[in-house]
Structure 1
Amino acid sequence: MVNLVQALGIVALLYCTSVAGDKVFRFDYTSSRNIDGWWKLHNIPVTWNMARLRCLAEGAILLSPLNKNYVKTMKMIMATSNGSIQRGIYSGVHATYSKGVYSSIEGVPLSRIPVSWAPGEPDNYDNNESCLLFFPNGTMADVNCNEVRPYICYKKRNYDVVRSDCGTTDSQYHLESRTGSCYKFHTIGQTWHQAYMTCAAEGGYLAIINNDIEAQALKELAAKYPETREIAKFTNFTDPVAVGYYDWNKDRTWFTIHGESLSEAGYRIWSENQPDNAKIENMGQHCGGMLRSSLLDDVWCEDLTYQFICEKSPESLIPEA
């Protein structure tokens, strides 16, 4: 347990390592001089690869104890938290490329990282441990990458970083004057659920069509990118793009991801004979898609991947006044 004097000291250190008002990256990250960048603690435990993907979608990477300053900062973050984080957090140090060959996400080899091992570690239990945990006392241990743990994302300071009109450092978001929203077309396919996570991590959400004007804007956006043709063998239509509506109760009642019916949202124009709940191995279609024509089409939530469109407001990542 951390006593009151220690707690006050930790808070003071965290204050001293932060740059007042320096939130250039995004509002939910904390700036620190110690690590020359910004960090964000994720308390909800996930697998190592999911943690890596979440940080990547936020424009960051998994934080690693690269030197004494990084170790100090990671210990301070953990000391001011509680719950499952006390059992250790994932670092960005891994051997997923080649068994036993550890390096950080940035490519720094383990031999260059000031690691203090926990008692009995590393042990590569059952020859199945390729990710490294960091503990509150500064020691580390190798673990199975499929365990679920909290983690810290890190963005190295880049003094050339500027926010666009969309309030993000992600240059792929563009402001649409007709709707007042910003959109990003993801050409690399993901399952609907993965796409939902990616948009949320970027400070937005899977695009929701609210009217004919927005439908036209998304139609024009999708037309700029070639189709993948991945699901052509399952449908007579061109490849759908994943967007933000869902068959919540799997009873063919469709709502947006913000809880409105399609009618309330303002757009419910389905393609001919859709939604049809087509089956693949008894798996129905309960997620939302949009054809290149901007007409709606139900799609499979898992197994198949789709290009997708994220939408965000220009203010979503900016600190509140």
Structure 2
Amino acid sequence: MDGNLKKLLFFGTLCSVMKLTHQTGDIPVLHEFLSISGLKKTWTEAQEFCKAHYSELATVFNMEEVDGINSNNEDMPETLWIGLYDPIDSWTWTTEAMLLDFGNWEDGEPDNEESNEHCVVMTTQGFWKDRQCGLVMPFICYTGTGYMMVTEEKPHPEASIYCKEHHTYMATILNSDDNQDVLAIMQAYQTYQEAWIGLRRDNWKWIDDSNSLFRHWGPNQPDNRNNNEACAIVTPEGTWNDTKCNEEHGFICQEFTEVTPPNETTEAFNIDVLLESDDVFQKIERRPQ
């Protein structure tokens, strides 16, 4: 499990942003978790907050994500709400009402003390406990934002249509961090192959009309060999090549959930990026125009 941690200050509220890769069926997916440690809410309020500003309270798919969240977040509070609850005698994730198929309960949990514990927190050790939903504590949101590797091989035009119909666009890569994210998705897939991205020889423009000038061509690329190479692939080394658009490859789609910074009343009203790059906040906000 690859993890990547960055910290942001949203209107004075410290958030830790963790990028982790998990497997959804046969498809590796990159998602971001945001630990909202500067706000405390009931479980219901936290879920409403995450839905309004990100996507959902965090869904934790496997032990690797538990370890990734905890190892990448040294400042994590003792307990945080996650998106697991018990609406009708069955533990369910808020994400599309998914039933629980993975659990990491602390010994003796869930115990439903006083028959009034129907929501779940995660501790700094990664264990889960059921708690009263009306308690007030920090929480982890899940952005639902990321790249997806589609392993069915298609020509570039068909891959582009598939991404538009099922996601948003083929992958746009705005900077070296994005390129590493795409490479991580390819590495997460066991056969590790070349993959189409959303760049084509129309003055080498991105399909979603992004105006980024970032490029990561391999040596002597693009070369337009035989005057017949008009679409871009990412290689296993993370560099890009131009090749024939009618070749069949797996491809990377992207999904972006619109992010609105929290409109919470706090002492500070400026957004400050605490780590290295101004494009961290831009990356979370980025979506097709």
Q: Which structure carries more strand by proportion?
A: 2
TM bucket normalised to smaller = 0.3 to 0.5
Flag the structure with more relative contact order, 1 or 2, with Cα contacts below 8 A and sequence separation at least 6.
2
TM-score by length of 1: 0.40
TM-score by length of 2: 0.44
